[in-house]
């Protein structure tokens, strides 16, 4: 029999298909394990940043970004207090206003003094509390825009990063339920002209994290996410804060960013 002309037998073809199936299953399992590790590292990142802010406050008696003698400690940026756009991470910085918050917010979430958001990460690096060196400045996209590895640290979640800011909002608006939030840490992807609010994890992943560390609800507790006006595929039942749930029908696509309430 000329095997080169006859090709595979049915048995040989079945063996090849089985092997391909095992390979694909192995790849999918490996991807699942890698993603699980990334999500676990996400929580470790959050804990490390909360710890860094607390240790900074203990050492300097001030929150990072809000520190009034930062220029004395690390040198003055040439354009303080309203630093110009920079794309180069550097040590010289600017003082904060010392009002006890990282940035300023009124009760309707009008956010001002946002330069403290970016200086917070710079001060944490300068003090030796984090390892990501940043610019401490605004970007060309505006005073509220975060760019990963430039003015905010990136996350283990690819395409996501962290912002710290002070946020008050007593009345519910299209993006978020009303609450006395205080300082928040947002984990999300780049969004033009905004801080890290872009979708970076799936609704299924967000729910799993929420159940693990909080109450499993996107509108309450110490871990939350945005309403459907900002992230339309992340949550459902957006008419009631108590009924607000993660979107199970869109559970595998990148749809959510996270809002942590760290309590500092």
Express each pLDDT in 149-188 by its tens digit.
999 999 999 999 999 999 999 999 999 999 989 999 999 9
Phi-psi region of 113 (alpha: psi -120 to 50; beta: other; left: phi over 0): left
Q: Which of 191, 211, 88 is nearest to 149 (CA)?
A: 88
The kind and range of the H/E element at 3 are helix 3-6
CB 208 within 8 A of CB 201: no
189: β partners: 160, 198
Helix runs in 61-130, H state only? 70-74, 115-126
- pLDDT confidence bin for 6, thresholds 50/70/90: low
pLDDT at 30: 47
For 73-159, strand residue ranges (E) read 104-105, 111-112
217: β partners: none
Segment 75-84, tens digit of pLDDT: 999 889 988 8
pLDDT, mean of residues 112-123: 98
CB 201 within 8 A of CB 254: yes
Helix runs in 84-153, H state only? 115-126
pLDDT at 91 over 90: yes
d(CA 164, CA 141): 18
């Amino acid at each position: 029999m000329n095997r080169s002309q006859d090709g595979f037998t049915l048995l040989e073809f079945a063996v090849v298909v089985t092997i391909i199936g095992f390979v694909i299953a192995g790849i999918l399992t490996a991807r699942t394990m890698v993603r699980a590790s990334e999500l676990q590292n996400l929580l470790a990142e959050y804990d490390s940043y909360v710890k860094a802010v607390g240790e900074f406050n203990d050492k300097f008696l001030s929150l990072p970004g809000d520190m009034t003698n930062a220029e004395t400690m690390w040198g003055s940026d040439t354009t303080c207090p309203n630093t110009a756009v920079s794309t180069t991470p550097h040590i010289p910085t600017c003082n904060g206003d010392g009002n006890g918050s990282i940035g300023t917010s009124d009760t309707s979430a009008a956010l001002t003094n946002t330069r403290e958001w970016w200086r917070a990460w710079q001060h944490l690096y300068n003090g030796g509390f984090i390892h990501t060196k940043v610019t401490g400045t605004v970007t060309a996209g505006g005073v509220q825009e975060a760019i990963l590895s430039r003015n905010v640290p990136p996350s283990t979640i690819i395409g996501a990063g962290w912002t710290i800011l002070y946020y008050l909002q007593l009345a519910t608006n299209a993006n978020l339920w009303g609450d006395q939030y205080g300082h928040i840490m947002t984990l999300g992807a780049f969004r033009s002209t905004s801080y890290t609010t872009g979708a970076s994890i799936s609704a299924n992943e967000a729910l799993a994290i929420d159940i693990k560390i909080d109450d499993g609800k996107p509108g309450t507790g110490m871990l939350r996410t945005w309403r459907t006006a900002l992230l339309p595929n992340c949550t459902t039942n957006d008419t009631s804060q108590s009924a607000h749930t993660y979107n199970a029908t869109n559970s595998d696509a990148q749809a959510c960013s996270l809002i942590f309430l760290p309590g500092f």
